Amino acid sequence: MIKRSRLVRWKGWLFILPGLLFHIFAVTIPAMLSLYLPFTEWNGISMPKFIGIENFVEAFQDRIVGVAFLNNVKWMLFWVTIPIIFAFGLAYLLSKIKRGQTAYQSIFFSTSIITVTVAGQIWFWLYNPFSGVNFYLDKAGLGFLEWPGLTIPSFALVSVLIADMWRGFGGNVIWLLAALTQNDKSIEEAAKLDGAGRFRILWNIVLPQIRPTLVVVTLLTALGAFGAFEMVYVMTGGGPAHATETLSTYYYSLSTRGQRAGYGSAIALFQMFIAFILIAVYAYLKKKKGWDV
C-alpha cells in the first residue's frame, strides 16, 4: 500500500470543519462565556463587570442553591434507575411475545413526540387535586390510592419526574429490545434445560449480553436528564417554595426575572460537578473495565 502523504491525512479535517464551525458558534463560544460570566456582575443590560469570586461566595451561602443541587442529583439518580429498570422490564416482556411488538413499541415511543409544554399541561390536569385523578379516586372510594401530586412540596419533584418519565421512557424500550433480540438464544435454552431459575438466567445470561447497550442507554439517559429543566420549568417553574428548583430553573429565573445573569451563570456552573462525575464514570468504565462504550 502506498503511504499517503501528510496532506491527505489532514484532509479529514475538511470533512469535520463545516460542522465544527456550527459547533464552535453554538457551543464552544457560549461555553467559554459561561465560564467567564460567573466572575462578573451583570444585569443583562450593561457590559458585564468583573468582580472576582464574589458570586461563588454568595452561591455557597445561598440555601436555594443547595436545594437545587440536591434536586439535580435526585433527578439524575431517578433517571438512571427507575425509568431504565422500567424500560428493561418492558423490553424483556416484549421479547417474549410474538404479536404486536412493533405496535407496543410505537405506542411507548409516541409520548416522546409530544411538545414538553403540552405534556406538562396534560399532567397538570391529571394532578389537579380538585378535578384530576385524585378527585375520581375519592369518588370511587379509593382515596387511599391518592397521590399528592404537587400539593405536598416533598412529593412535587417526584410528581414532575413521573410526568417526565411518561414522556421519555419509550426510546429506551426500543433500544433495549433491539439488544435483547440479538442475544444468543441457545445459551438461554441450555440454561433452562439445566434447570436454572428465571432470575438466574436473567442475571447471569441475559444482562451480561446486553451490557454494552445498557451502559450506552444509561449514559445517554443521564446526558438527557442532565439539565433537569424543561419539564420542571413548564410544570412548576421550580415552585412551590423552591421544592422543585433545579440549578437550571434557578439560573433561568435569576437571569430573566431577577436580572442577575452573572450570579445565575455561577450557579449554572454547579452543574459541572455533576458532569465531572459522569465523565469520571465513563472514563472508569472504558479504561478499567475495558467495556466498549
Partner 1 sequence: MMKPALRTFGKMMTVVGLVSMLVLAGCSSNDGGAASGKIRLQVPDAAIWGEESSALQVMYDKFSADHPDVKLEQVTMADDQAMSAALAAGKAPDLMLMDPSLAKERFKSGYVEPLDKYYDQYGWGHDMFGWAKNAYVEGGKTIGVPWNYEGLILVYNGTMFKENGWAVPKNYGELLSLVPEIKEKGIMPFAWGSSDNPGVDDWWVTSIVNSILGKEGTKQLYSGDVKWNDPAIVDGIKRYDEFWNAGYVTDKKSQAISQEDSSQLFLNSKAAMRLDGTWSLAADNEPDFDIGFAPFPSWKQDGEPIIPLGVGGGLVINAKSEHKDEVAELLNYFFNPDVVKTMAEHGIPEPIQMDYAQFDLKPNVAKALNLISEAEKTGRTGYVAWSYGPPSVVQVLESDFASVYLKKTTPEAWLDNLQKLKEKDFADNRIFGLDKY
Partner 2 sequence: MKLRFNWRHIPLLIVTAFSLFPMLLLLMNAFKKKAEISKNPLGWPKFWTFENFSMAWEQGHFDVAYMNTLIITGITVVLVCVLCGFAAYGLTFMSTPGSGLFLAYLFITMSMPIGFIPIFFMEIKLNLINTYWGVIIPFVGGAFAFNVFLLRAFMLGIPKDLLESARVDGASSIGTFFRIILPLAKPAFVVVAIFTTLSSWNEIFLSNAILQTDTMKTVSVAYLNFTSKYNTNWALMAAGGVMTVVPMVVLFLLMTKKFVSGMQEGGVKF
CA–CA dist 113, 58 (Å, integer): 40
| Identified binder of partner 1 from the candidate list 5, 103, 113, 194, rule CB under 8 A | 5
Provide, for the chain, the percentages of residues in helix, strand and coil under a 3-state DSSP scheme, each rounded to the nearest 5.
75, 0, 25
CA–CA dist 198, 194 (Å, integer): 12
| Residue 240 in contact with partner 1, rule: CB under 8 A | yes
By a kind-dependent CB cut-off of 5 to 8 A, residue 78 interacts, out of partner 1, partner 2, none, with none
| Identified binder of partner 1 from the candidate list 256, 272, 276, 286, rule CB under 8 A | 256
Query: Nearest CA to 179 among 223, 215, 224?
Result: 215
Nearer to partner 1, 102 or 256 (CB): 256
By a kind-dependent CB cut-off of 5 to 8 A, residue 151 interacts, out of partner 1, partner 2, none, with partner 1
Per the CB < 8 A criterion, the answer to whether 237 and 173 are in contact is no
By a kind-dependent CB cut-off of 5 to 8 A, residue 236 interacts, out of partner 2, partner 1, none, with partner 1
Nearer to partner 2, 33 or 85 (CB): 33
Contacts to partner 1 from residues 264-283, by CB under 8 A? none
- Phi and psi based region of residue 2 (left: phi greater than 0; alpha: psi -120 to 50; beta: remaining): beta
CA–CA dist 288, 152 (Å, integer): 44
Per the CB < 8 A criterion, the answer to whether 153 and 105 are in contact is no
| Residue 242 in contact with partner 1, rule: CB under 8 A | yes
| Interface characters, 33-62, with partner 1 (x: CB under 8 A) | ----------xxxx----------------
How many residues touch partner 1 under the rule CB under 8 A: the total is 36
Nearer to partner 2, 23 or 200 (CB): 23
Per the CB < 8 A criterion, the answer to whether 250 and 264 are in contact is yes
CA–CA dist 88, 180 (Å, integer): 10
CA–CA dist 56, 223 (Å, integer): 25
Q: Minimum distance from CB of 173 to partner 2 (Å)?
A: 9
Nearer to partner 2, 81 or 194 (CB): 81
Amino acid in the structure at residue 66: G
| Interface characters, 119-148, with partner 1 (x: CB under 8 A) | -----x--xxxxx-----------------
Sole window of 4-12, 24-32, 74-82, 92-100 interacting with partner 1 (rule: CB under 8 A): 4-12
In sequence order, what are the residues at sequence separation of 6 or more whose Cβ sits closer than 8 angstroms to the Cβ of residue 152?
A: none
Question: Interface with partner 1 by CB under 8 A: which residues?
Answer: 4-5, 7-8, 11, 14-15, 18, 43-46, 124, 127-131, 149-151, 153, 236-237, 239-243, 253, 255-259, 261
